[in-house]
A and B are shown apart, each in its own frame.
Chain A
Amino acid sequence: MEKTMRKGDRGRRIIGSLALCSILLGLYFGLIAAPPDAYQGEAQRIMYLHIPSILTAYLSFFIVFIGSCLFLWKREKRDDILAYSAAEIGVLFTGLTIIEGSIWGKPTWGVWWTWDARLTLTAILFLIFVGYLMLRSLIEDESRGAVCGAVLGIIGFLDIPLIHMSVYWWRTLHQSPSILRPDKLPWENVHPSMLIALSVNFVAFILFYFYLLSLRFRLGEMREEAKALKLYGGS
């Protein structure tokens, strides 16, 4: 057990160091190396945060979905801890995505917010998972809270395909994807210097996300251990 924990700590430290290096590189590429956009000017640099943060949030809610399904199937506490941890961090990244989008929208669209389909569905995603966190903290019976949370986590994840497809299904102010397009490869649509900045920032966000997730997961595990020790008096 001790050996596993030490191994986990070492792994976390390596991911943390890699995340720090890639964050610094991402800041260099996003703020200095990448050229300004021909139409959006310098404000386009916000996209080097906006796209990686929403993709990280999608990944996080996918982990909530997987953890919730596994928990409902096998009833193992570890899966619930994973889903709960991923939901907390996913809410943070979704909230930041909405803020970044709003700051980018003001100089580009002329408004901080508009009730566009993609923006509204992203706000709904944020509210669903804020609700998830509230539900988990309000239900006193933990096993019931875990089951309710798992059901809400699965339902909440179903909003993500809607967000992705919203720009195709409805007439929206939000532009269609530049990277995840079915008809074009990313480098056919985005200048290589911008694609490098975006990729470096994406790697930085993913590494930092996994660092935070492993730390939050460890917190959940330790809380469970503390509860068990309190219940059985360390025997």
Chain B
Amino acid sequence: MGSWEYVFLAYGIVWFALLLYFFLLKRRVRKVEVELSSLRSSGDYQKNA
């Protein structure tokens, strides 16, 4: 393996892992947001009833 191949391997792994974590975190946030809004709306419904 040449020097540039090691460089690209390192840059590829780092940015792939960081972007993967970022997208998974975004997905976790969105999932909890949906759950929270449904809990809030069901709470409002109970209060109004």
* Residues of A bordering B, CB below 8 Å: 27, 30-31, 36, 41-43, 45-46, 49-50, 53, 89, 92, 95-96, 99-100, 103-104, 106-107, 208, 212, 215-216, 218-219, 222-223, 225-226, 229-230, 233-235
Pick from B11, B28, B44: contact of A31, CB under 8 Å? B11
Q: How far is B29's CA from A86's CA once the two chains are assembled, in angstroms?
A: 16
- Tell me how far the C-beta of B26 lies from the nearest C-beta in chain A, rounded to whole angstroms: 7
Cβ-defined contact, A230 with B18, below 8 A = no
- Say whether, besides A31-B11, A42-B7, A225 and B36 are in contact (CB < 8 Å): yes
Q: How many A-B residue pairs have CB under 8 A?
A: 89
Cβ-defined contact, A234 with B25, below 8 A = no
Cβ-defined contact, A229 with B21, below 8 A = no
* Residues of B bordering A, CB below 8 Å: 1, 3-4, 6-7, 9-11, 13-14, 17-18, 21-22, 25-26, 28-29, 32-33, 35-36, 39-40, 42-44, 46-47
- Say whether, besides A96-B14, A212-B21, A222-B32, A43 and B26 are in contact (CB < 8 Å): no
- Tell me how far the C-beta of B35 lies from the nearest C-beta in chain A, rounded to whole angstroms: 6
Residues in B with CB closer than 8 Å to A225 are 36
Q: Which residue of B lies closest to A47 (CB)?
A: B10
Q: Which residue of B lies closest to A229 (CB)?
A: B39
* Supplied contacts A46-B10, A225-B36, 18 more A-B pairs, CB within 8 Å: A31-B11, A41-B3, A42-B3, A42-B4, A43-B3, A43-B7, A45-B7, A46-B7, A50-B10, A53-B14, A96-B13, A96-B17, A99-B14, A103-B6, A107-B1, A218-B29, A234-B44, A235-B46
